[in-house]
Chain A
Amino acid sequence: MALNTDKNSYTIIFSVLMVLVVGALLAFLAQVLKPTISENQRIEIQQNILYAMGVNNNSEGSVEFVDANNAGEKFSEYIKKQLIIQDGEVSEDDDAYLIDLKKEQTMAKDPSYAQRLPLFVGEKDGETFYIAPVRGKGLWDAIWGYVAMDKDMVVQGVFFDHKGETPGLGANIKERFFMDDFEGEQLFNDAGNFVGIDVAKGNADPKNMNKDDNEVDAIAGATITGDGVSQMLKKDLKLYVPYFKNLKN
């Protein structure tokens, strides 16, 4: 077969055909697997929310979620109420955990739109947890998480995740040594103003013995991801302050 593979026209036709074939193949595969993948992602959200309120299979040092097979069961067992707060109005919605925070935050850029704020009320061992989702920017891409608080907005547990932070540096925000530091931290300062929790470098309290300083120790080499976490907590949790104020009265 005398196929002249060096001709320019042949090269162009070959590359066009190759792109079409490969593109069609991958698009088809993505379509077929899409339902399974989004189901996995839905279960992951439930696992994340449960993790923040301390329902997990953690062993020493590692992050273990509740088993994916009964995540739905556990979710309905521990999460008593799912609320949506919009413009001060509170309503119940059993699909509140599916609200896409990214979309809400984009729409909220329009000042006439009141952002929908999901809040999950969980109960474990007689204690009530209020779990709020947060979302912000890391160094490379999105970071997000869930923060479990008690009725005074003292942090009881957190879960953070990220899309593409540097492995070994920024990606460590989802490791136990970082997340566990948040337990018991205050979001308000001594004067009673909302200040959030600062991921602080040069922290005078690296072992995190002082829970009232509104600070946790930063990860070395992950300054921008850490700043992103501080920003995200400050910005997103502040929106919930009026609700908690109401709760007290």
Chain B
Amino acid sequence: MGLLSKKDSKLILDPLADNNPITIQVLGICSALAITAQLKASIVMALSVIFVLGMGNVVISLMRNIIPSKIRIIVQLVVVAALVIIVDQVLKAFAYSLSKQLSVFIGLIITNCIIMGRFEAFALGNGPWRSFLDGIGNALGYGVILIIVGFFRELLGSGTLLGFKVLGDPIEKTGLYSIGYENNGFMLLSPMALIVVGIIIWVQRSRNKALIEEN
């Protein structure tokens, strides 16, 4: 990591694994459950959150010395809301069918606790560059989990990836389907997302003993 100092690269890498917002801090779960039935929606949601959290952290960090502390939460809300409206409008203009599909969930980025959490915990006390890295890192950590969950749910639930029939055609009975394989429709429902997230947490903890709290 020649580009970033050791401290800076930690900001990006930590949330990807050892301090992942979803699997370790268990934040932002609702959107992770709701939109991961398809890989494409997961990727767009991840990109939107990367944009909102990266930009938002920079804006809040730049304003951190002039924000009146009495109304700082409202100021944070206004910044997230404005950024989310920008994402929503841009999607409506350039990826209309996708924005229909994501419908309320784009608006719900506002309520994603990861975002307000990073503003409050990091951007208010650090410079813009470090805040930017922290925002990108956390959003990436969130996005990685979203994409992993979306990958398995779409593959096992619909037998497709990004809409391509990778396992063969279920109606024509080609590929895997010719030997009696069936899609698991249950994978498309929200409860399975929770189970997939649970499996990821289990795998991560079994590989990294440092994450297991001692009681």
Give per-residue flags for A40-52: 1 if the beta carbon is below 8 A from chain B beta carbons, else 0. Answer: 1101100000000
Q: Which residues of A contact B171 (CB under 8 A)?
A: 59-60
User: Which among B3-11, B60-68, B138-146, B202-210 touches the partner chain?
Assistant: B60-68
Is B179 an interface residue, CB under 8 A from the partner? Answer: no
A167 near B90: Cβ-Cβ < 8 Å: no
Q: Is the interface of A mostly helix, strand, loop or mixed?
A: helix
Beta-carbon contact of B75 and A18 below 8 Å:
yes
Interface size class of B (residues with CB under 8 A): 20 to 34
Looking at B92-100, B126-134, B192-200, the stretch in contact with chain A turns out to be B92-100
A residues 160-185 near B (Cβ < 8 Å) are 164, 167-168, 171
Across-interface contacts of A36 in B (CB, < 8 A): 93-94
Min CB gap A217→B, angstroms: 18
A68 touches B71 (CB 8 A): no
Q: Is the Cβ of A6 less than 8 Å from the Cβ of B78?
A: no
Instruction: Collect the chain B residues with CB atoms within 8 Å of residue A59's CB.
Output: 171
CA distance A40 to B91 in the complex (A): 11
**Which DSSP category, helix, strand, loop or mixed, fits chain B's interface?**
helix
B8 to chain A, nearest CB (A): 27
Once A14-B66, A25-B82, A60-B170 are accepted as A-B contacts, the answer to whether A40 and B93 lie under 8 Å apart by CB is yes
Q: Tell me the complex Cα distance, A85–B29, Å.
A: 51
A25-B82, A164-B104 known; A37 and B93 CB under 8 Å? yes
**Quick one: which of A3, A26, A37 contacts B92, CB cutoff 8 A?**
A37
Residues of A within 8 A of B (CB-CB), count: 30
A171 CA to B100 CA, complexed, in Å: 12
Q: Which residues of B contact A209 (CB under 8 A)?
A: none
* Closest B residue by C-beta to A47: B97
Q: Which residues of B contact A (CB under 8 A)?
A: 34, 65-71, 74-75, 78, 82, 85-86, 89-90, 92-94, 96-97, 100, 103-104, 170-171, 190
Known: A29-B85, A33-B90, A37-B93. 19 other contacts (CB 8 A): A1-B65, A5-B67, A6-B70, A14-B66, A15-B71, A15-B75, A18-B78, A25-B82, A26-B85, A26-B86, A29-B89, A33-B92, A33-B93, A37-B92, A37-B96, A59-B171, A68-B97, A167-B104, A171-B103
